[in-house]
Structure 1
């Protein structure tokens, strides 16, 4: 992947020419842009598509991790506004990345956000989940495996876990504390943008009702799209996911 503008936050899929609209893909907890790379490639015919690289992973492994949603979303909104160079944007978030994308959308001018697309994640504030980010390593990583973020066979690779665990814990804390606060407040501010909520029909980590609950988080058009497959649609079904995104946005969500 390469970029047409320099940024440590965004890594773009290779493409020719400057597209009218830019798309930013927020990966799941603990992940880097490699997990959304193929989706960005698939969408490169319609958008300048960029994966979002948070601190503490890949080439930003030494950067301090972010654990406070409001602070991260403020930074991302500013970086994204500069990076998009005045173009309208589509924000795509997968799993925990959906919550980050939603908070960034709240901070942008609604007229600049063509759509918010969320994938495989309950609507923030729609359910209570006890925090797991502070659990001892074995318990925490078992939860990560259950949530679909880490293959179980990697639990025996201590060297790799030493690398990936800090970003995973940071992202879990980021989203768990944020969503618990929303649930306890009993109110979530909607965004004024078209929203598409996508899930895999074989995904056992999220219920259809939790996907439908995203409708309360937007005052714009809302659509639910179900696809064949499980939880990790950007990696397992990138072509089908890209086609669903293009179709939904072409129809105005």
Structure 2
């Protein structure tokens, strides 16, 4: 578990866990910092996918099944211990959703709440088509991602960061491209919340209602694709997540 999870503030007496899934090419550090912003009832786990940060030598997952298996095999014991919720941004939304479905189908477990951020529903026909990754240069791929608003601000300021992050981004996009959810009708029963930026692409968030029989809520916050990095939005999201988790039925 230590390879997969970054947890900056261990809280063994916490009542709940929040598991955070990063965006394409992203690491664990940003969401790990959230742990200091939540109260003592919630312990935050931020996931580190293979091929980045301290797992840079681990082979990247080539498909969603492999990635979900890596997560579940490492976290199953912890997920069985106490109620948990998932938060995913962009690519992380799809990984968190796929993980939730796998847990319910195989182990009868599911989050008390799913929080999706900046993402189309997995079955949406509006999901963008990824360019042929084998035929696209790093520069072309970066430009394509940037055209969708999917480049974190720090990338634009550091050329060295782009060189380091493009390889895991390529792999994450391959996972995204091959992930198919053809029949999502009520595959889950937990409540679900979607967050989106007012200046981001339109993500047809209403379609997320198809994936669960629980209540679906939508919040639009000011900003582009990385609206969640704005301090005021981050505060809203963390306060909202706390209320939802603490009031969840389980």
How does the TM-score come out when normalised to structure 1?
A: 0.84
* 1:113 aligns with one of 100, 111, 114: 111
When residues 234 and 81 of structure 1 are mapped into structure 2, their CA distance, relative to the original with a 3 A threshold, is farther
Whole-angstrom CA distance in 2 between matches of 1:93 and 1:156: 25
* Deviation digits for residues 97-119 of structure 1 (CA, Å, limit 9, x no counterpart): 00000000012245552111111
1:54-93 maps to which residues of 2 (within 5 A)?
Answer: 54-84=49-79, 86-93=81-88
SS of the residue 1:38 aligns to? helix
1:1-253 maps to which residues of 2 (within 5 A)?
Answer: 7-84=2-79, 86-109=81-104, 110-127=108-125, 128-132=127-131, 134=133, 135-151=136-152, 154=155, 159-178=160-179, 181-182=180-181, 186-188=182-184, 190-200=187-197, 202-207=198-203, 210-236=204-230, 237-252=233-248
Q: Which runs of 5+ in 1 are unaligned?
A: 1-5
Contact 1:42–1:238 (Cα < 8 Å) also in 2:
no
When residues 151 and 28 of structure 1 are mapped into structure 2, their CA distance, relative to the original with a 3 A threshold, is closer
When residues 47 and 100 of structure 1 are mapped into structure 2, their CA distance, relative to the original with a 3 A threshold, is same
The number of equivalent residue pairs is 240
How does the TM-score come out when normalised to structure 2?
A: 0.85
Contact 1:13–1:44 (Cα < 8 Å) also in 2:
no
* Deviation digits for residues 114-159 of structure 1 (CA, Å, limit 9, x no counterpart): 1111111110111242222602222211122223332578469654
- Shift in Å at residue 22 of structure 1? 1.0
Contact 1:227–1:240 (Cα < 8 Å) also in 2:
no
When residues 152 and 14 of structure 1 are mapped into structure 2, their CA distance, relative to the original with a 3 A threshold, is closer
Q: Which runs of 5+ in 2 are unaligned?
A: none
